[in-house]
Chain A
Amino acid sequence: MNTASRIIVTAGKAGLLASSLLSFALLSLEHYNFNVFPIFFILSIIITFIISCVMILFTIVPIHEFTPSLTDFQKFKTYFPLYAILFFLGCFYFVWCQDFDSITNCIFIIAYITAMQSWVWFFRTKNKNNETK
């Protein structure tokens, strides 16, 4: 799979995950109007797909492209911890700035989970025997 298709596939999955998490979060609202749910879900998939594309393009792809000598497994093992820590600190900073407001919490928790899962999907290799050993 080339990089472009990896981006599209990962962003598609990420969009679906983020929209599902967002819908789940909205269900906890007391006065949620279930009639708007289908439209909201479709719209959120489109928006989160675009955001995921941009995020993957600017944060994951550079690491993938600038380290051609490493296998996908090695790239994940080397750079994912750093990415996870920095991304978490960034999210935590914004949540802190908003004084732990519940909506901000929700948005950044979803963003964090989606970003981390995107790494897993992006660097998941088909040819396991070659990559992991």
Chain B
Amino acid sequence: MLKKIILIISSILFSLLFYEKSIGLNFFLFSILVVFLLATLHPKKFKSKKILLYTICYLGGSWFVFMYNSFLTLFVSIVSLCTLLGALTTFKTSLYIEFLNGFYTTIAASFTKYYHHLQNETEAVKKRKVNYLYWIKTIGIPIIIVLIFILLYRSANPNFSRIISTINMNFINVKWVTYVLFGYFILFNISSPQTIQPITQIDSETGNRLEKSTIPVQSSLSISQENQLGIILLVLLNLLIGFFLTTDVFYLTAIVDLGASDLSKTVHEGIYALITSLIFAIIIILYFFRGNLNFYKKNKHLKTLTTIWILLNVLLVFITAYKNYLYVTHHGFTYKRIGVFIYLFLSFIGLITTNIKVYAKYNLWYLLRKNIHIAFIILICSSALNWDYLITKYNTSHAQRVDLEYLINLSNNNTILLKEYVDKNPQKVPSQQLRKIKEKHFTYSQRLKTHTWQELIYDNLKIKQ
């Protein structure tokens, strides 16, 4: 009963925060409400460090929605919420299973719960019907009496009457009721975490280590042949990548003095090939170390060649990062260029974890779990940055060429900064772009002024100052 009352109050608060409102402060307040709800309903689970860490991630993500109001922050906040919900159901599962469980909980927990309720319902329970008369009496009679007293007090005191008449209840309509019901649906789902049974079970039963007993038996001749094949292939691949890196370094020393179009060509056209080659590198290593070769006594050479190949691929990552850096110094940051850096960092982590997998005899699940963990951390950290602001700040102060059109087309997070830039450097900005920036600033300022307290964002406070 207490749970239902909390949920009803929370769903009314949900409608108060989101009904006909855009995203802003309301999202952060809603996250506090969700955490309060979960902590009230699952107090024991909130003593775990893991849950507390996920809660901080979720609250942090929601705070950044208020700060930057971007798609990325919103996405990170939702991912964090799903992970938190998933962690509440099972403690010893991988992050991606926690996310899937949380996502499933958010969208369909009420249906699962209802189905279980129907399945477990016995005839005895069925007969225990709700006492509607009791509820009508408990809720109806106090409301009627309170209304009668309000009418009496209104006629007795004009001030009281005036205050009562100012209370606007027009917002209560079918649409609002639908919103409350929607809020109830979401909050009910969130408060009743569910698991996706088959995958959760499989994941919790699967360890990180390769077990010799689980690998299909292979003849020693076949293992030896596979080892030889691996050695030949890796020798060839090492020679090839070594040759490629040498030519690339020579090319790079020459390209520093060349125009930006060459750099663009090298970075943009080369990056896709490098992405594919890094993925292939990891796949080839995983193929050879999928089973029996991990336990083969004469695999030392293969392991050494694998490490060399991984190191050369790491060098390739650094060279590509340097090319991207050169391009950034010429043309400034764009989302695509930042994406390249993030991708290269993830590849670097992927190569390192692959090497650990080879030496410590871990399985594929280890690789998946570790890399997803790291990707999750990067995602959380990336939401803490105001990318549009940083791109604009860097490009306007450090880049040799400023692509103002690109900066104008970014979100409103850079509007104030762009306005400051054109105010300080009017001579550097062409008239057409100057007009566009002023228009963007004006439209944004006007929009900020229309924000209600639920829609407030950090820029509202800046404008006031």
Q: Point out residues on A near B: beta carbons under 8 Å.
A: 24-25, 27-28, 73, 76-78, 80-82, 84-85, 88, 116-117, 119-120, 123-125, 128, 131-132
The 8 A-B residue pairs with the shortest CB-CB distance, nearest first, are: A84-B108, A81-B196, A28-B174, A28-B175, A116-B111, A27-B174, A120-B115, A88-B107
Which parts of B5-19 form the interface with A (CB within 8 Å)?
none
**A-B contacts besides A24-B174, A81-B196, A120-B118, 14 pairs, CB < 8 Å:** A25-B178, A28-B174, A28-B175, A28-B178, A84-B107, A84-B108, A84-B111, A85-B103, A85-B107, A85-B108, A119-B111, A128-B120, A131-B119, A132-B120
Interface string of B180-218 (1 = CB under 8 A from A): 000000000000000011100000000000000000000
Residue of B nearest to A124 (CB): B118
Distance in angstroms between the alpha carbons of A78 and B104 in the assembled complex: 13
Residues 299-356 of B at the A interface (beta carbon under 8 Å): none
Q: A81 to B104, alpha carbons, bound, how many Å? A: 7
Q: Is the CB of B157 closer than 8 A to any CB of chain A? A: no
Within the complex, the shortest CB–CB distance from B98 to chain A, in Å, comes to 14
Collect the chain B residues with CB atoms within 8 Å of residue A25's CB: 178
- B178 contact set on A, CB distance < 8 A: 24-25, 28
Q: B450 interface residue, CB < 8 Å from A?
A: no
Which one of B122, B174, B175, B198 contacts A128 once the chains associate, using CB atoms below 8 Å?
A: B122
Contact across chains for B108 and A88 when beta carbons are under 8 A apart: yes
Chain B interface residue count, Cβ-Cβ cutoff 8 angstroms: 21
Shortest distance in angstroms between B104's beta carbon and chain A's nearest beta carbon?
5
- Cβ distance B357 to chain A, nearest Cβ, rounded Å: 29
Q: Name the one of A78, A125, A131 contacting B198, with C-beta atoms under 8 angstroms.
A: A78
Docked CA distance A73–B120 (Å): 11
**Docked CA distance A85–B107 (Å):** 8
Q: Is the CB of B107 within 8 A of A124?
A: no
Q: Main SS of chain B's interface residues? A: helix
Residue in A78, A116, A123 whose CB lies within 8 Å of B108: A116
Distance between Cα atoms of A108 and B106 in the complex (Å): 17
B104 touching A85 by the CB < 8 A rule?
Answer: yes
With a cutoff of 8 Å between Cβ atoms, the chain B residues found around residue A119 in the complex are 111, 115
Q: Are A124 and B119 interface neighbours, CB within 8 A?
A: yes
Q: Does B114 contact A (CB under 8 A)?
A: yes
Residues in A with CB closer than 8 Å to B112 are 80-81
Cβ contact of B104, chosen from A28, A77, A84, cutoff 8 A = A84
Q: B121 within 8 Å of A by Cβ?
A: yes
Q: Enumerate 14 A-B pairs (CB-CB under 8 Å) in ascending A order.
A: A25-B178, A27-B174, A28-B175, A28-B178, A77-B197, A78-B198, A80-B111, A81-B197, A85-B104, A88-B107, A88-B108, A119-B115, A120-B114, A128-B119
Q: Which residue of A lies closest to B115 (CB)?
A: A120
List residues of chain A with CB within 8 A of the CB of B198.
77-78
Report yes or no: B196 in contact with A124, Cβ–Cβ below 8 A: no
B173 touches A28 (CB 8 A): yes
Contacts of B197 in A (CB 8 A): 77-78, 81
Provide the residues of chain B in CB contact with A27, threshold 8 Å.
174
C-alpha gap A25/B114 in the complex (Å):
23
Residues in A neighbouring B100, C-beta threshold 8 A: 85
* Neighbouring B residues of A131 by C-beta, 8 Å: 119
Inter-chain contact A120/B174, CB cutoff 8 Å: no
Min CB–CB distance A95 → chain B (angstroms): 13
Nearest CB in chain A: distance from B185 CB, A:
9
**Bound-complex Cα distance A80 to B112 (A):** 8
In the assembled complex, the Cα of A53 lies from the Cα of B86 at a distance in Å of: 34
